[in-house]
Structure 1
Amino acid sequence: MARKDPEPGFDRELAALPADLRWREWMRRIEAVLFASSQPVAREDLARIVGQAVPLDLLIADLAADLSDRPYELVRSGPGWLLRTRPAYAPVIRAVADPGPQALNLGEFDLAVLAAIAFHQPITREGLKEIFGREVSRDLIGRLAERDLVTTGPRAPRRGAPYTFVTTEVFLAAFDLETLQDLPDAEQLADAGLARG
């Protein structure tokens, strides 16, 4: 997302400011970068806009606390952070605004394939066929890839070395997951009526 180096004259350290104002300005910088980004911003990118000795985790925690009464929140997604509207405001936004490309608009089978990739990654098209009992089209995989929900993974270690598929950071953000470990387990899915127990 970010440029490799800050612009010339960019004062990262803010040494001329008193400590409390410097901290507040670093928080504002992080908020501005997250607000402007449509994808999670990695830790190393955020570290480039604050002083070298800044404990970034404390700064992010203070920003999250500062935003606690706002209609949006600071959340961790994969290796980065993003600002996201609080779920309670989703109906309000849909009533007035068009959320546009944020809506996934995936069919039931598309979501099932995406879930299979998430739970069994890296997985080949053959592996998906075994799960669903039918071929999963290249077009469907292509649609998921166009939305940056899946990408190719390592080649399978067998004859022909077919491609595998894995989920992306966009997948994590779209489904409000910090890591793949946040996926529900089989028991949780069964309790929700989404799988056989």
Structure 2
Amino acid sequence: MAEAARRRGGSRSDDRRSGERRSADQLFDRELDHLPPEARWREWMHRVEATIFAASEPVGRETLARIVGKSCSIDLLIDDIREELRGRPYDLVAVAGGFRHLTRPAYADAIRSAFGTAAGGSERAEDLTRSDVLVLMCIAYFQPITRGELSSFFGKEISRDLIGHLRGAKLIASGPRSPTAGAPYTYVTTKEFLLEFGLDTLRDLPDFEALEDAGLLSKEKLLAGDIMPGFSNDGGEDAGVADNEWHAAP
């Protein structure tokens, strides 16, 4: 009985908070009809830039649409913001399905010197070995793919430890079960993979067939460790991140 009363009390509290949010939402002026067009557009730009700056994750168009007028084009706003940021050491970049402030690649060395890593404190990508990067690249292009298929591709067993390392870094996750015998798990890349390598979607990966046709990438080169542009391959075991990668602005 006491538990039921507690649940009812919690439900009323949740309803009250939800009502407060709806009330605040109704009071928020999205349209800004009282402002002249130029001032209205400028205020929308400021709202969008402030929201993206405050967020720890990429902010999608649906979220940004809540703070601007119904007739406002998010893409045009982003274009104008980016134009104003031209010449600054950071930009607004489309990544992982949203927008995020990222520092420009030219300042990777400065950020690395300041924080000890290129990403301002995150060592996830820099901890990847060459083998990690090769397997991650293969998963990115051929997902969903099983560990057995990866082993067949490389001609040697891909260890559970290697897969576990990539999973621990949150760069890959379990995909659907394979329809093959035993229904093994497949592996797919994650949103964190897109974030780590500055991609908006997997469609932003260089076209594999085009790279093959151009003679820049092949299965033989992949197995030999001649990995594609955008991934470091300096002859050492640690692959690290590419020098042209964007990094999250502090």
Query: What are structure 1's unaligned runs of at least 5 residues?
Result: none
1:102 deviates by 5.4
Instruction: Give the structure with the higher percent helix.
Output: 2
- The equivalent position to 1:194 in structure 2, one of 222, 226, 249, is 226
1:81 deviates by 1.6
1:18 deviates by 2.4
Which residue of structure 2 aligns with residue 20 of structure 1?
Answer: 38
Distance of aligned partners of 1:42 and 1:7 in 2 relative to their CA distance in 1, 3 Å threshold = farther
Q: Secondary structure at the match of 1:140?
A: helix
Aligned residues: 193
Q: Secondary structure at the match of 1:164?
A: strand
- TM-score, with length taken from structure 1: 0.84
Q: Does 1:124 align with 2:152?
A: no
- The equivalent position to 2:64 in structure 1, one of 21, 27, 46, is 46
Distance of aligned partners of 1:139 and 1:47 in 2 relative to their CA distance in 1, 3 Å threshold = farther
In 1: Cα distance, 2:44 partner to 2:124 partner: 32
Relative contact order (alpha carbons < 8 A, sep ≥ 6): 1 or 2 greater? 2
Q: Does 1:136 align with 2:158?
A: yes
In 2: Cα distance, 1:188 partner to 1:26 partner: 44
In 2: Cα distance, 1:16 partner to 1:147 partner: 49
Q: Displaced runs of 4+ in structure 1, greater than 4 A?
A: 4-7
Which residue of structure 1 aligns with residue 12 of structure 2?
Answer: none
Counterpart code for 1:92: A
Q: Secondary structure at the match of 2:226?
A: coil
Q: Does 1:101 align with 2:122?
A: yes
In 2: Cα distance, 1:20 partner to 1:38 partner: 30
Distance of aligned partners of 1:96 and 1:139 in 2 relative to their CA distance in 1, 3 Å threshold = same
Which residue of structure 1 aligns with residue 137 of structure 2?
Answer: 115
Counterpart code for 2:67: I
Counterpart code for 1:155: R
Distance of aligned partners of 1:156 and 1:68 in 2 relative to their CA distance in 1, 3 Å threshold = same
1:90 deviates by 1.1
**Do 1:150 and 1:165's aligned partners in 2 also have CA atoms closer than 8 Å?**
yes
Identity of aligned residues (%): 50
Query: What are structure 2's unaligned runs of at least 5 residues?
Result: 1-17, 229-250
Q: Does 1:79 align with 2:100?
A: no
